[in-house]
Structure 1
Amino acid sequence: MPVIFNEPLSFLQRLTEYMEHTYLIHKASTSQDSIHRMKCVAAFAVSAVASQWERTGKPFNPLLGETYELLREDLGFRWVSEQVSHHPPVSAFHAEGIKSDFRFHGSIYPKLKFWGKSVEAEPRGIITLELPLHNEAYTWTNPTCCVHNIIMGQLWIEQYGNVEIINHKTGERCCLTFKPCGIFGKELHKVEGYILDKSKRKICALYGKWTECLYSVDPAIFDAHRKSDTKLSEKDRKGSTQSNNADEMPPPEAETVQAIPGSELIWRISPRPDNSGKVCGIFQHLSSHTLKRAANTKKLKYKQKHKHCKYAQITSEMFKGSVFLCLCCENLQRVCCQIDFFYLHVFFHLQRVELSWPP
């Protein structure tokens, strides 16, 4: 795969962007209401995929045994991730609060499917969030990600599928639906769902967009609003002759969320830095420019370690904008990896001979 399609990150680094809105976990940990905790956890699950918007670059595949560590004292968590399998590629991660108020762990092994002009990534693997203060454990899986127009045209991303968040202590669950774009693009990025108690009774409704925000409202009000909205959509559909291709970029008019009266805002996405387009859209807390600036002004305390990473020189050249040097480094390190694998194979072969001697 040409290196120009990559972004200067390892997939292990990309996973740390789950923690951009860690304050939602801290709010859930300090709340005494189980429904409010579920709202915060659901918002955190939605916010975890928000950084993928307009991120069409592919992160580098980590080496087997590669690790990445991150300590964010300002956000109150420490993180470690490791590539635990190469075929199939499996990345495992574990994060915990500095004050031991939560544990967040899981494994991701994406399943790729090619559909002509689009690529679909199904992120298999269960994600678990533990709140020790309440003795609770929440589990869920991420929605499916699809990148359109991979051959020609403007690249754009959508998330779709069902996400079920389960509180294994109380039996409460949150059933979210990430809606596909559709023909007219009116469902683009929309997220809707309900929080149910253990008897499957609707307690709360959630709605919004994974690229913008998430609201909560009474389920009766939400159902009434959705029925009226459906009738208006049917009238617009009958009066419209527009027919969009499934891979075409939807119009920008569909990028707003209208709050239903009586709604409560749970989460809103953080604005990206001005230079995000130059560093492949990396979110504010992990971009190279922001980290260097923060280190110079001493406003943020952070530590990060990247062990056994062969992509350090490549990502450095990509940040500088030198695609040619980046490509040269990639080809050189491919050869080095083949040489390392050869010597590793010889080493283990000699070890087996030594262990089996004398016969």
Structure 2
Amino acid sequence: MNENQFDRLNTLVTDRELKKIGQKILQEERLTPDEGILLFEKGSLSWLGAMANFVRERKHGNKTYFNRNFHIEPTNICVFSCKFCSYSKLYAHKEEGWELSIEQMLDIVRKYDGQQVTEVHIVGGVHPKLTITFFADLLKAIKAHRPDLHIKGFTPVELDYMFRKAKVSVEEGMKFLHESGLDSLPGGGAEIFSPEIREQICSDKVDGEGWLKIHKVAHQLGMHSNATMLYGHIEKYRHRIDHMDKLRGLQDETGGFNTFIPLKFRNKDNEMSYLDESSIVEDMKMYAVARLYMDNFQHLKAYWPMLGRNNAQLSLSFGVNDIDGTIDDSTKIYSMAGSEEQNPSMSTAQLVQLIQQVKRQPVERDTLYKEIKDYSLQNVE
């Protein structure tokens, strides 16, 4: 969409406040929190999608990124009891969960020897007996076996517990893990920063301020990270905007976030199963508003195993320019919660086809969004 088409679209909006927001988007002016809430409350899906797609194409054209990655989940045994979680097992019921040794996790890494994967993503439950030293040894072992593999690992929920148990500061703990081989942080554990919501859904783990501090320290060490938000449960639109505003503020300060990933609440087998899940309309609205509000985030990612392949394709018209990676079928966090993909694995060829089917340009990237291969110019290997 060019600026003339944008102007014509904006003339179809009768609400004066939305029209004003449209002009700010065109002129690349920052939206206020009140304007962000207004987008949720008054913006039609078609208008929001068109606005978000305009911004997406202004930033990236038709480029749609993915990477070749795999997951390691060291354990699903956890000291915390988040009400939305379908994945973890409390330590008192540890026989129902799993706990991998360093050698078992190295075996997972070895499965990808000779393959063109660029990233291993390590997240799991918070096991009371797995220490910061254990994970540092894991990082060193992976780097010794495959130095080129980017290690993205551990949410602030895991890190906060590790640091407190080891009686080290955030700064000391992050420096130790970074020097042991940790390259970047995933975005998990953010949920909703608002204390009033967090108290109801995950009161016993690190709070929003703690989550932000750990990412800030990582950025100060030269590491990059991702950011997420869990939406579609008991939060209101104002809580979503407040969450995004805090992320936007830290990004202004450090510039260390790679991408923002809205995560849809799934209601299977957890303490919040009584809640309905958000509709696909609400999902696409979430992506669109995120693209419009998070102006200093270069990338917006839809996690395809959570949304499903068709909805992930749809999201590419609502501001999304990244659909994550090839993953593999070992990731259980969303499949256990009732995600669309119960065996979340796609080959590179399948991901490329998924993107090309909706007339977008597939580009393989590394974790930090360095372009590796443009598949609109080359054949899939």
- Which is higher, the Rg of structure 1 or of structure 2? 1
- Taking structure 1 as the reference length, the TM-score comes to 0.28
Higher helix share: 2
Higher relative contact order (CA 8 A, sep 6+): 2
**Higher strand proportion:** 1
